[in-house]
Amino acid sequence: MASTNASVVFSGSKAVTSHEEEHPVKAFGWAARDNSGHLSPFNFSRRSTGEEDVRLKVLYCGICHTDLHNSKNEWGSASYPLVPGHEVVGTVTEVGSKVKKFKVGDKVGVGCLVGACHSCDDCSHDLENYCPKLILTYGSLYHDGTMTYGGYSDTMVANERYVIRIPDNMPLDKGAPLLCAGITVYSPLKYYGLDEPGMHIGIVGLGGLGHIAVKFAKAFGCKVTVISTSPAKKKEAIEHLGADMFLVSRDEQQMQGAMGTMDGIIDTVSAIHPLLPLIGLLKSQGKLVMLGAPDRPLELPVFPLILGRKTVGGSLTGGLKETQEMIDFAAKHDIKSDIEVISMDYINTAMERLAKGDVRYRFVIDIGNTLAASNP
Amino acid sequence: MVKSPEEEHPQKAFGWAARDPSGTLSPFHFSRRENGDEDVTVKILYCGVCHSDLHSVKNEWGITRYPIVPGHEIVGIVIQLGNNVKKFKRGDRVGVGVLVGSCKTCETCQQDLENYCPSMIFTYNSTSQDGTRTYGGYSDIVVVDQRYVLRIPDNMPLDAGAPLLCAGITVYSPMKYYGMTEPGKHLGVAGLGGLGHVAVKLGKAFGLKVTVISTSPNKEDEAINKLGADCFLLSTNPEKVQAALGTMDYIIDTVSAIHSLGPLLAMLKLNGKLITVGLPDKPLELPIFPLVMGRKLIGGSDIGGIKETQEMLDFCAKHNITADIELIQMDYINTAMKRLSKSDVKYRFVIDVANSLSQ
């Protein structure tokens, strides 16, 4: 269907339904249009509220490093225009006829996923995040063949299964990052058995993921050592986040002194870095869990793995059931993200700062108060 | 003044040793300590030839001190007992594996994990508590603390049982530790040599479906028809590899040659485990993406504690599992080592020490 609307969408040379007309409910957000990653206002639309859907007015959205990677198409899978955002919180404005868990006015969140097959082994074990047909909150094709758009927008609609209840005592802005960063560190701490009181856990990298990992590990009763390339982060790590120790990873003496002392290490760093020193920090039977995925293979020294019966594993966010469990645990232990709230139109500057790690420790967009004003 | 190997202990001993990184072995006179209160002296009947012996005689890991008498898959009979030894009697069929000592007091020792004790003493190429070097089983006798001596079950042949003392426990221990024993699950065994062939047999005994992953097409027939594997995957065949993606619950990687771990990781299902027991002399390439995307892990394992080694021997005896061996004379050892370096053995050489070790 041809249109003279400026936002007409072309598939090849054929005009197809524009983003604004694709679905019945108008929506507004900010999108990246090309691999410069520059974001700007974007008019589009969302599906109407289906029987199993929950519609929410978005109040806040956390900025995950993944948003930056995707906006710039660093992983080669981006589809433009791209509306990022998978740490979305807001209030329910409408529920479908079959929705049991939520009602209008509830404080809810949406994380990294909005769909899966629901019939495979992974889905039936509450591991939707590993389903081969999983649908991401943005940049994926939904069941109806249309692109999903994320939380840098005024409203969202999601299947009830993918909506998380935000506990009453959790502030929405500081709770938003838990929907990705929180579950990404909580899930492996549990799965790899690194959640027992008295264990010594190392956290590599003190950013969005790392700072929350410190808080969870402390809540589990573990001793926590932060391992970082930045000596400047030591004071905060110890005094503000509650870490017990801080190791500068480039300081060989410090690293040597800590060898064989840790039950587990959560590695949040996605830049290329050597695994040998980290494996050396582990006790016998220790576990190194990788959360960041460097874009090239790393070298695995096999001898230390064998001589100490150590493991290197990975983990990717978490299923919905576990995400709810995580946020309830966080609320109970007063764990929230440390954030810098920004207005929507600050987003490009925020992305530049994020690329340099210049944030303590997560940007959160105040969608509710600043998105509408950014609409030209 | 440092005493010579012949003079350092009171009991005369004879074996074969390598004297330099050429790895060539030749007759060697040395000595063993007096049998102490905790000790058992074993007259050695057979000794398996482990790939580690080859790595060691050639100093491929850079830690060899010459002269070196290899051999840590030792079986024989008890000929002398210390005053405190109650578990064994003269004439008992016993074995000695990779360890002959540890601190006995640390946390790992107390958990029967002597193999992870920071002070563990290897059967050869280590330093004993008295400061002298340890010499292995390519020799006529060995004196060992009773804690590190294994009982060979009655129905287990000594020659074919010898390799279990290293190869057997090296695959049995991680299979138990990493939970790779659920009947019906799918195990991949990468590499069909000394370790691999025992892993296939153990896998079948645990009720697993077993696929051998190998670069050698000529191993397929044996893998299926003799060892009992269910499938054989030629890892150089891209189509077969494609079909195997995401199909295995666990993989034991016994290969010590340098190889990328990417293809093996890709064969694992979600939450799959890749266990590496081969000892390459350089780091391997590990892509992190598949670990993260599939919550997979790669883990190592190093032989096993003594208690678990005994458990493994008893399990093997119960299930009629022994190694497939080629029995050789002592003076064939250098040829055997050459053949071993080309993987030309099905699947372990065992030295008929008692019948061929002559001075």
Q: Label each residue of A190-252 as H, E or C.
A: HHCCCCCCCCEEEEECCCHHHHHHHHHHHHCCCEEEEEECCHHHHHHHHHHCCCCEEEECCCH
Out of A284, A299, A302, the one facing B108 most closely (by C-beta) is A284
N- to C-terminal Cα separation, chain A: 26
Cross-chain Cβ contact A314/B291 below 8 Å: yes
Q: How far is B139 from chain A (nearest CA, A)?
A: 27
Q: How far is A55 from chain B (nearest CA, A)?
A: 29
* Concatenated DSSP letters of A64-82: -HHHHHHHTTTTS---SSB
Chain-centre distance of CA B333, in angstroms?
18
B195 dihedral zone (left: phi>0; alpha: psi -120 to 50; beta): alpha
Q: What is the pLDDT of residue A1?
A: 37
Which residue has 């022994």 as its token pair? Answer: B322
Contacts of B262 in chain A (CB under 8 A): 297
Chain B 239-268, CB below 8 Å of chain A: which residues? 260-262
- Tell me how close the Cα of A34 comes to any Cα of chain B, in angstroms: 25
3-state SS assignment for residue B218: helix
B277 CB within 8 Å of a chain A CB: yes
Residue in B261, B285, B300 nearest the CB of A306: B300
User: Phi and psi (nearest 5°) for A77?
Assistant: -120, 10
CB A129 within 8 A of CB A318: yes
- Write the ipTM: 0.89
The verdict on a CB contact (< 8 Å) between A306 and B296 is: no
pLDDT at A271: 86
Strand partners for B225: none
Below-70 pLDDT ranges, chain B: 1
What pLDDT sits at residue B260?
A: 85
From the list B277, B278, B285, the residue facing A297 with the nearest CB is B285
Q: What long-range pairs does A350-356 form, CB within 8 A, spacing at least 24?
A: A350/A63, A351/A37, A351/A39, A351/A63, A351/A67, A351/A68, A351/A71, A354/A63, A354/A65, A354/A68, A355/A68
Q: Do A301 and B177 touch (CB under 8 A)?
A: no
Nearest beta carbon to residue B283 from set A302, A307, A311? A302
From the list B270, B289, B296, the residue facing A122 with the nearest CB is B270
Specify the pLDDT at position A75: 81
Name residue A170's amino acid. M
- Give yes or no for B288 touching A (CB within 8 A): yes
- Residue B276 and residue A312: Cβ atoms within 8 Å? no
Average confidence (pLDDT) per 10 residues, chain A, 376 residues: 44 62 94 96 96 98 94 89 97 97 97 94 90 94 94 97 97 98 97 97 96 98 96 94 96 95 96 94 96 88 94 95 97 97 97 93 97 88
- Determine the Cα–Cα distance for residues A207 and A358; give it in Å rounded to an integer: 9
Which residues of chain A does B291 touch, with a Cβ-Cβ cutoff of 8 Å?
290, 293, 312-314
Q: What distance in Å separates residue B332's CA from the closest CA in chain A?
A: 31
- Residues recorded for chain B: 359
Instruction: Tell me which amino acid residue B202 is.
Output: L
d(CA A300, CA A278): 11
Alpha-carbon radius of gyration of chain A: 21
Determine how β-strand B93-96 pairs with β-strand B149-151.
Answer: antiparallel
Across B335-344, b (16+ Cβ under 10 Å) vs e yields ebbebbeebe
Chain A contacts to B (CB-CB under 8 A): 121-122, 127, 130, 191, 275-276, 284-285, 287, 290-294, 297-316
As a whole number of angstroms, the distance between CA A259 and CA A203 comes to 14
Residue A9 pLDDT: 54
Q: Is B299 in contact with A298 (Cβ distance < 8 A)?
A: no
Pick B292's closest partner by Cβ from A287, A301, A315.
A315
The answer to whether residue B116 neighbours chain A at the CB level (below 8 Å) is: yes
Q: Give the Cα separation of A304 and B298 in Å (integer).
A: 12
Would you state the structure tokens that stand for residue A220, as one six-digit string? 């589990």
